Amino acid sequence: MRMIGRGLLIAVALAPAFAAAAPPTDAERATLLASIDARASRFADLARQIWELAEVGHQETRSSALLAHELKAAGFSLQDGVAGIPTAFVASYGAGRPVIAILGEYDALPGLSQEDVPEKRPRHPGAPGHGCGHNLLGAGAALAAVAVRDVLAERKLPGTVRFYGTPAEEGGGGKIYMARAGLFRDVDVVLTWHTGDRNRSDLTSSLANVSAKFRFRGAAAHAAGEPEQGRSALDAVLLTAHALELMREHVPQETRIHYVITKGGGAPNVVPDLAEIYVYARHPEMAVLDGIWERVSKCAQAGALATETRMEMELVNSVYNYLPNDALTSLQDLNLRRVGGVDYTAEEQAFATRLAATFPPDKEAPPGSQDRVLPPKEGFDSGSSDVGDVSWLVPTAALTTATFVPGTPGHSWQSTACAGGTIGRKGMLVAAKTLALTALDLFGDARHVEAARQSFEARRGGHVYRSRVPDDAKPPLRYRDP
């Protein structure tokens, strides 16, 4: 994709596409931040409730209901169960343009249940946990939306603020189906954030991702008495996995391939007639990933051919790499610096010290760095998100704040512990304040919205977005089922 410097884009003078209000004053910014502080305790409790519920993707019934109830109580109108997903919703306040969307997530990860203590101690062994901090993500985004709603009402500003309740970010692709349903069609700017171990407005991209369950069906037989009668579905899975391992040497170095065996048989003395492997493949560019995925599929076909079994592929998800936005990143970076980083109390510092002893140090996120704001940087990280699909349709800004102790590995019991405690909630407030200030600037000065559109078009470079999920595919509402 074509890259253009940030300064050039922001310097372009553009005519506003809609009526402009007066840019916010320092006093108005201070009032906005004070309103967030006044609600901090309530939304911290909300984040904790969602952390305790720890519901996995497309099954976040109570978590989404908690957020929807809070927004409705704040005067937002609700659309429930959008895009054929029971736990997806859109909450809106205001009328007309600009339409500024704030994204919220709330799904947990399997197997990461953990108490909010600096030692491994599951709350419910084997149960889900918020190892990616989406309890904070949803509550923090909702807090920002409510604070912006107050400003629109008090200043009588034109425009609409929307909160998008987006389920199943962790592999279920909720945003893809919401986009397909046209729910972002009239949106001018999307603002989002993510939990992490540092504070930065993100210019980095992510990895495009395709995932599928390859299911093999063979013939059962007594593994000792009549093994020749059997056709092992597990053998097909193992051959597929072996082929994937050999393939790693012959793919672009940025590629990531990982898998789990989700079904492998019931007893050693029965030749398994059903087995399944769940595979992810990732690369920074979707066009390159298309070719890699064809080869992944051939590995599964080869496993079936060699074992005389039948293979079925269930595509679970496919997301684009994130498309950064130069103008929005600059604006959001300015507001993040206004807010500042995270300060620890003595008790939080003691927690952080004990937790940091459980993982290797990270040179990029040393102890104490949670109080700093890092400058935006180019490049890509190794994660994937369905925010990527939205970013190819609407100008989108992403933000990371230090909700985790510096150096904490993602998707770990350590990150679950942080997400349930005060360290996580402090990072959540940094995000809520930064999102709200950025939205205030967008509502107050139409030139920011136009600059965001110009950055979007430059980065997109004429590319036409096309989801890799088939048009007739329905949301994988049970993709977390065993």
Give per-residue pLDDT as tens, 294-321. Answer: 999 999 999 999 999 999 999 999 999 9
pLDDT value of position 462: 87
Which residues lie below 8 Å from residue 326, measured CB to CB, with a gap of 6+?
A: 4, 5, 6, 9, 10, 203, 455, 458, 459
* Proportion of the chain above pLDDT 70, given as a percent: 96
Mean pLDDT, range 452-470, rounded to an integer: 94
Give the Cα separation of 429 and 140 in Å (integer).
7
Single-letter residue type at 352:
A
pLDDT value of position 12: 31
Question: What pLDDT band is residue 8 in, cutting at 50, 70 and 90?
Answer: very low
Mean pLDDT, range 148-163, rounded to an integer: 94
* Proportion of the chain above pLDDT 90, given as a percent: 91
The mean pLDDT of the chain is 94
Mean pLDDT, range 394-409, rounded to an integer: 97
Question: What pLDDT band is residue 11 in, cutting at 50, 70 and 90?
Answer: very low
Question: What pLDDT band is residue 386 in, cutting at 50, 70 and 90?
Answer: very high
pLDDT value of position 22: 82
Count Cα neighbours of 2 within 13 Å in the Cβ-side half-sphere: 11
pLDDT tens across 183-220, in order? 999 999 999 999 999 999 989 999 999 999 999 999 99
Return residue ranges of the chain for CATH 3.40.630.10.
6-206+321-460
Report residue 271: phi and psi, to 5°.
Answer: -65, 120
Mean pLDDT, range 136-165, rounded to an integer: 96
Mean pLDDT, range 228-250, rounded to an integer: 98
Which residues lie below 8 Å from residue 29, measured CB to CB, with a gap of 6+?
A: 338, 437, 440
pLDDT value of position 19: 56
Beta partners for residue 93, in sequence order: 161
Return residue ranges of the chain for CATH 3.30.70.360.
209-318
How many other C-beta atoms lie within 10 A of the C-beta of residue 79? 15
Give the Cα separation of 90 and 387 in Å (integer).
16
Give the Cα separation of 401 and 433 in Å (integer).
11
pLDDT value of position 15: 38
Tokens standing for 329?
């990143």
Q: Assign 228 to helix, strand or coil.
A: helix
pLDDT value of position 379: 87
Question: What pLDDT band is residue 1 in, cutting at 50, 70 and 90?
Answer: very low
3 has a pLDDT exceeding 80: no
Give the Cα separation of 393 and 82 in Å (integer).
18
Question: What pLDDT band is residue 380 in, cutting at 50, 70 and 90?
Answer: confident
CATH among 3.90.1150.10, 3.40.50.11810, 3.40.630.10, 3.40.50.1110 for 6-206+321-460: 3.40.630.10
Beta partners for residue 212, in sequence order: 279, 315
72 has a pLDDT exceeding 70: yes
pTM over 0.85: yes
pLDDT value of position 13: 33
pLDDT value of position 482: 79
Give how far Cα 230 sits from Cα of 20, 235, 308, 325, Å: 72, 11, 10, 56
Q: Assign 6 to helix, strand or coil.
A: helix
Q: Where are the alpha helices (DSSP H) in 56-212?
A: 61-73, 134-155, 174-180
Q: Which helix (H) or strand (E) holds 40?
A: helix 26-53
Q: Assign 313 to helix, strand or coil.
A: strand
pLDDT tens across 12-67, in order? 333 345 655 788 999 999 999 999 999 999 999 999 999 999 999 999 999 999 99
174 has a pLDDT exceeding 50: yes
92 has a pLDDT exceeding 70: yes
Give the Cα separation of 93 and 276 in Å (integer).
45
What's domain 209-318's architecture?
Answer: 2-Layer Sandwich (3.30)
Which residues lie below 8 Å from residue 232, measured CB to CB, with a gap of 6+?
A: 218, 271, 272, 275, 307, 309
Mean pLDDT, range 260-278, rounded to an integer: 97
CB 176 within 8 A of CB 62: no
Mean pLDDT, range 125-143, rounded to an integer: 98
